[in-house]
Amino acid sequence: MLKLYRGLKPYGKQLLLMVLLLFVQAFSMLMLPSMMSLIIDRGVVQGDMNYIVTAGVIMICITLAGSASAIGVGYFASKVAVGFCTDTRKKLFRHIGRFTLEEFDRVGTSSLTTRSTNDILQVQNFTIMLFRVIILAPIMCIGGIALAFQKNSTLAMVLVVCMPVIVVFLVLVLRSAFPLFRSMQSKLDKVNLVIRENITGVRVVRAFTAEQREEKRFEAANEDMTQTSTKSQVKVSTLMPLLMLIINLGTVAVVWFGGQQISMGVIQVGDMMALIQYLMLIMYALVMMSLIFALMPRASVCAERIMEVLEIEPVITDAKDAKIPEKKTGTVEFRDVTLTYGNSDTPAVSGISFTAMPGQTTALIGATGSGKSSVICMIPRLRDPAQGTVLVDGVDVREYDLAALRRRIAYVPQKSNLFAGTIRSNIAFSNENLSDEKMKRAARIAQADDFISKKELGYDDPVAEGGTNVSGGQRQRLAIARAMATDANIFVFDDSFSALDFKTDAAVRQAIRENTQDATVIIVAQRVGTIMNADKILVMDEGKIIGEGTHEELLRTCDIYAQIARTQLAGGGGEE
Amino acid sequence: MSRKSPKKDSAAKRLVGYFKPYGKKVVFLLICAIVGVVFLITGPRVLGTATNVITMRAQYNQTGELSLDVNNPELAGIEKIRENVDAEGNYVGPPLKAGEMPVLKMVLMLLVAIYGLSAFFTYLQQKITAQVAQRAMFDLRENVDRKIQRLPLNYYDTHTHGDVLSRTTTDIETISTSLQQIMTQLLTAVFTIIGIVVMMFTLNWQMALIALVVLPAALFVCSRIAKKSQKFFQGQQQGLGAVNSYVEEHYAGHDVLKLYGAEDRAQHEFDEMNDTLNENARRAQFASSIMMPATNLVGNLGYVGICILGGFLTAGGSLTIGAIQAFLQYMQQFTQPIIQTSNIVNMMQSTLAAAERVFEFLDEPEIPAEKEDAVHIGKTEGHITFEHVKFGYSPDRILITDMNAEIRHGQKVGICGPTGAGKTTLINLLMRFYDLSGGAIKIDGVDTTDMTRQNVRSLFGMVLQDTWLYSASIRDNIRYGRPEATDEEVEDACKMANADYFIRTLPEGYDTMIDESAGNLSSGQKQLLTIARAFCANPQILILDEATSSVDTRTEKLMTDAMKKLTAGRTNFQIAHRLSTIFDADLILVLKDGDLVEQGTHGELMELGGVYAALYNSQFS
């Protein structure tokens, strides 16, 4: 938490101002009772009407000053806390922007999203409370006690005794309630889980006629949660009445001792009345401060989660003296490459060596998990090999300027992510100023112009977040068009034809070949039909290349390839 | 979809209805609240009396006289005082030494009792409120869950899971968290405000008028600011939503961003959104931070007013110092309930909106009741006939116009067609997830509408692509269709389904808990488990959805092998995406645009040269 708060440095001056205002606020709150006591003792008891008026005017001024400074505190608190969190969010987004697959694997995409949004919001809300309320409490306590001592030390002792009693009591109740709150939260999660399961699995539940059983399962979870929740609420409901009781008994004590002091002529009635009110003010401040117990644990967990991300250094960064080689032929070469994920002992792929030549199509085929995607993701440095080298145009990819390297490659990932915007903005993703002609050409190659022209606004038709308003096949074609709209001369397709039907698949591939005469094309696929015409096919199994050649060659030489081909291309009468 | 019933009570009224079963407790808690507040409010007044006693005592020290108002209601209960005070209120007891204050002692003891009782009743009220509110929420949740089971499947097919989930979880949570707060705070807040006003007027009407000016002013200021800040908070919420979805989208597509060199653009766009959010959030936070100081300002001005006016009145002799003190305390006790009330009014709006959505869900029409004289089939031959079946998801869009088919015991039926042809519709009808618009489906000659739905479904086993498992052990998941299955039967089923091997490699074997969404299992393993589940249920008729996407070749082999064992000797329906799985079917049903267009064996259909043949050629040429 503290580490994260280092980001508050640029707000130093505003914070200082805010603390000053807090002092003014506390001072004015404490001054009111003092002034009141003067009105009683000097004005009322001595019958000095003028004094009452003068003191009244001063009190109004104090009130106004206090309120103004409280509003000022609110202003700076919101400005600093929100601004600080905006900075953090920006820093985080920028930092995560440098992450590649390795880091995303480590933390998880959805977790990174939560940390960039909700976690920061939690920190923001806590920080505002901290500034506005929590810091005020100690100032009020110290100020109140100081003023009390100034009036009368015997009575001030009552306040001094009351305070720790309140604190101890607050801590005790909250401590015993917190575990209950936590367990209630997990039980609530369980209740919601059962509901979610009942909704998502409604077909299965009914197919197995398990409705009654599900109702019972829910009732058990519901009962469990209700009981814990009731218990924790009952515990909390002791809090306010008992706190009030302590304060009120404190007041009684002040009056008892005060009465004696007054009767002995040590203090005056007004002093005693002021002390009663200090006690009240201190109590409210302490209760507000108890918010820290309620908010802090959650906020500090969030802060830690944010820090954790900020402290991750991305593995893949630009080389120190990054190069932009002039030669641009499109050759991609793997030299004995091994890739290991995270801290895994066994490599995902190993001993990978091959060369993909310009003007040719190189294909990778194999079962899921055989390592096809792992191989090609090293070309644009989405991951770096543990051993061996990947060369593009004869230069180790690690020596490249990252952006320059990636400009040479048009890569279509397995998941065709689109972005909110229009069809145009998605195709012209790498170059906002892409000409209409080039954009349409790219769409034609991807066999996408047909469905695009059927859209109401054509190329300007909106694409929803994540592309949820276009079908899987259309999404994939747009992703291909996005790649075809670049100036790359290396094209990599990671299983990018899977959602297309056989006819479109063939048409897209043919158009790609026709339009990328001198380019290097690398295709990863699961369907033999997609790649059987490739110039070179690499067959992968368990992270190794176990066969290399053309379709015909492999049918003869590679058992696994032959087996895959047999099941997938089975003619009439064949089974499975 | 949601037809509003003609006579619908307001959400608030219905919510209150949930407290009816606890009527006695509610009455009791109301009494406790009132008693608690009465004691609480009496406190400052008695304290004022104590202050007066002290002032008089100070006078006594100077003059030797002490007079008390015996008609003061706070003192009326203390008999001891009467013994020492004559009818005029003059102290007639033994002369007092310095520091000896018998009257003060008695008043303060009375005060301790009042405060003690007040705390006790407030506690009672809050405790009972907690219990009652939690119980009422329990009932509401039960109703919702029961409703989930009684809604027709149509509801789930026409509403997104997200919508249903937000009504059944988020909205209910909103209600339950705010309901209790509303109940505890609103009651005491309103009672306290009323009580304080009454008390003030009985003390001194001039000063009470100040309070009466302050009260509405504070309420007004509060509600204005609350309204304003709520608008800003909506802005913050929108800004958050925008940033949230932007972040989500761009993290999910982070590789695309990098591959196409769009990082800088994305950062720029993000910064803009972030700045907008900053602006909105700052405004919202600032607006809400004004609430306290503004209310305090009004309250404090009232405080000052009382000091001044009280000063004059007291100096003029028509008011006691104790009364000023009581007034000041009342003024301080005022602000808290006012802020609470205005918060609660806001909260109530969102709570009622949530309640409305929940009640809307509870008002959805349910599945039509079962026939009373339903026929029960225990064992079936698996002989199924479709007779002039007519069906559409809505009456004005009939999909299946006139379907006739006969499936005999042990036959394999393939269902195929292009995507969106309505293959799942047939399953919906067979399992009676939907009712027919016309015609009949008969099992062993019995119309399925003459049976209970549960009876129909108990005859079927189902292995679907959507591998739903629930959070329990693997063992419990397997015996889902037949809870009474023994451990051996479960394990046998898994062996048959080729799942036994991988289950045993798991750290806790059959007792391994399935996580939410079963993240600890691969999708192939989950599919094997659903096959095992079907084995264990041992149904007489099977429905299988060929599920081979995202499964590696080895698991696929295990699955086809298991499916083969499962279907042996049982009438079975297979939905095929790849035609190769149904070449050998006894009957192939070909669907297109929702309707059955062709039926026959592979050979017959190829000869026909229609939809099936075209489909075949597109896959294998």
A332 pLDDT tier (thresholds 50, 70, 90)? very high
- For residue A494, pLDDT over 70 is answered with yes
Of B282, B308, B466, the CB nearest to A78: B282
**Is B618 within 8 Å of A132 when comparing Cβ atoms?**
no
pLDDT at B69: 61
The better pLDDT of the pair A294, B246 is held by: B246
CA A211 distance to own-chain centroid: 37
**If 0-12 CB within 10 Å is exposed, 13-18 middle and 19+ buried, where does residue B3 land?**
exposed
Q: What is the model's pLDDT at position B82?
A: 61
Q: Is A16 exposed, middle or buried (0-12, 13-18, 19+ CB in 10 A)?
A: exposed
Which residues does chain B have within 8 Å of residue A503's beta carbon, measured at their own beta carbons?
618
CB neighbours (10 Å) of residue B54?
26
Give per-residue pLDDT as tens, A42-91: 888 787 888 888 998 999 999 999 999 999 999 999 999 999 999 999 99
Q: How confident is the model at residue B68 (pLDDT cuts 50, 70, 90)?
A: low
Closest Cα in chain A, distance from residue B123 (Å): 6
pLDDT for the residue B297: 86
Asked if A308 is an interface residue toward chain B (Cβ–Cβ < 8 A), one would say: no
Decide if A243 touches B, using CB distance below 8 A.
no
Q: Are B612 and B416 in contact (CB under 8 A)?
A: yes
Q: Pick B294 or A332 by higher pLDDT.
A: A332
Write a three-state SS string for A205-239: HHHCCCHHHHHHHHHHHHHHHHHHHHHHHHHHCCH
Residues 10-39 of A with CB under 8 A from B: 32, 35-36, 39
* Record: contact A74-B293, CB cut-off 8 A: yes
End-to-end CA distance of chain A: 59
pLDDT computed for residue A89 by the predictor: 94
**For B460, which of A39, A132, A207 is closest by C-beta distance?**
A207
Mean pLDDT of B414-424: 76
pLDDT confidence of B57, banded at 50, 70, 90?
Answer: confident
B166 inside 8 A of chain A by CB: no
- Percent of all residues in chain A with a pLDDT value above 70, rounded to a whole number: 97
In angstroms, rounded to a whole number, what is the distance separating the alpha carbons of residues A541 and A546?
Answer: 7
**Residue A234 at interface with chain B, using a CB cutoff of 8 Å:** yes
Residues of B within 8 A of A207 (CB-CB) are: 431, 457, 460-462
Cα A307 to Cα A120: distance, rounded to the nearest angstrom: 11
pLDDT at residue B85, as a whole number = 67
* Contact across the interface for A269 and B55, Cβ inside 8 Å: yes
Would you place residue B141 in the very low, low, confident or very high pLDDT band (cuts 50, 70, 90)?
very high
B454–chain A nearest CA distance, Å? 6
Query: How confident is the model over B210-243, as pLDDT tens digits?
Result: 878 887 888 788 788 878 888 888 888 888 888 9
Q: Which of A66, A196, A572 lies nearest to residue B165, judging by beta carbons?
A: A196
Give me the helices (H) in B385-537, please. Answer: 423-430, 453-459, 474-478, 487-496, 500-505, 523-537
Mean pLDDT of B577-594: 83
pLDDT at A327 over 70: yes
Which of B268, B304, B431 to probe by mutation at the A interface, max A CB count within 10 Å?
Answer: B304
What is the number of other CB atoms lying within 10 angstroms of the CB of residue A264?
Answer: 12
Distances (CA, A) of A226 to A223, A349, B134, B144: 5, 52, 6, 15
pLDDT band, very low/low/confident/very high, at B551 (cuts 50, 70, 90): low
pTM across the whole model: 0.76
User: Nearest CA of chain A to the CA of B239: how many Å?
Assistant: 11
pLDDT surpassing 80 at residue B355: yes
Tell if the CB–CB gap between B165 and A194 is shorter than 8 Å: no
Cα A399 to Cα A103, A321, A387, B97: the distances in Å are: 21, 8, 15, 99
- In this complex, which of A45, A63, A245 lies closest to B304 when CB atoms are compared? A63
Q: How confident is the model at residue B596 (pLDDT cuts 50, 70, 90)?
A: confident
List B residues 245-284 in contact with A (Cβ-Cβ < 8 A): 245-263, 265-267, 270-271, 274-275, 277-278, 281-282
Average pLDDT of chain A, as a whole number? 87
Q: pLDDT grade, residue B377 (50/70/90)?
A: confident
Lowest mean pLDDT among A396-400, A478-482, B376-380, B487-491: B376-380
Q: Which of A128-142, B86-100, B370-384, B423-437 has the lowest mean pLDDT?
A: B86-100
Segment 519-558 of chain B within 8 Å of chain A by CB: 537, 550-554
pLDDT higher than threshold 50 for residue A574: no
Give A460→chain B minimum CA distance, Å. 19
**What is the Cα–Cα distance from A497 to A38, expressed in whole angstroms?**
87
Using CB atoms within 10 Å of the CB of residue B38, give its burial: 0 to 12 exposed, 13 to 18 middle, 19+ buried: middle
Using one digit for the tens of pLDDT, what is the confidence trace for B442-475?
A: 998 899 989 998 888 888 888 876 778 888 889 9
Chain A residues in contact with B332 by the CB 8 A cut-off are: 277, 280
Q: Are B329 and B307 in contact (CB under 8 A)?
A: no
Contacts of B516 in chain A (CB under 8 A): 193
Residue B612's closest CA among A569, B602, A567? B602
Spatial distance between the Cα atoms of A549 and A354, rounded to a whole number of angstroms: 11
Question: Is it the case that residue A19 has pLDDT exceeding 90?
Answer: yes
Show the DSSP H helices in A324-418 as ranges: 372-376, 402-407
Among A247-261, B173-187, B505-519, the least confident range: B505-519
Across the interface, whether the CB atoms of A226 and B516 are under 8 A apart is answered: no
Rounded-to-integer distance, Cα A169 and Cα A239, Å:
8
Q: What is the pLDDT of residue A95?
A: 93
B269-279 residue pLDDT tens: 999 999 999 99
pLDDT tier at B74 (50, 70, 90 boundaries)? low
Q: Does A43 touch chain B (CB under 8 A)?
A: yes
Output the CA torsion sign for A78, A79, A80, A81. positive
Its ipTM equals: 0.84
Q: Is the pLDDT of residue B620 over 70?
A: no
Mean pLDDT of B380-408: 87
**Cα torsion angle, B427, B431, B434, B435, sign:** positive
Average pLDDT value for residue range B159-164: 80
Q: Which of B3, B364, B354, B1 is nearest to B148 (CA)?
A: B364
Kindly list the strands in the beta sheet with B587-592, ordered across the sheet, starting from the edge strand earlier in the chain: B460-463, B541-545, B571-575, B412-416, B587-592, B595-600
Cα–chain-centroid distance for residue A552? Answer: 50
Query: Are B458 and A212 in contact, with CB atoms under 8 Å apart?
Result: no
pLDDT tier at B67, thresholds 50, 70, 90: low
Distances (CA, A) of A112 to A189, A313, B144, B252, B546: 21, 15, 33, 10, 35
- Residue A18 pLDDT: 95
Integer-rounded Cα radius of gyration of chain B: 38
Q: Alpha-carbon distance A399 to A379, whole Å?
A: 13
Q: Which of A411-415, A500-504, B371-375 has the lowest mean pLDDT?
A: A500-504
User: Are the Cβ atoms of B267 and A93 closer than 8 angstroms?
Assistant: yes
Q: What are the structure tokens assigned to A207, written together?
A: 């197919």
> Does residue A425 carry a pLDDT above 80?
yes
State whether A40 and B301 contact (CB < 8 Å): no
- Residue, of B520 and B595, whose pLDDT is higher: B595
In this prediction, residue B142 carries a pLDDT of 94
Contact A52 B282 (CB under 8 A): no
Q: What is the mean pLDDT of residues B394-406?
A: 86
pLDDT > 70: percent of chain B: 89
Q: A516: Cβ–Cβ under 8 A, 6 or more apart, which residues?
A: A489, A491
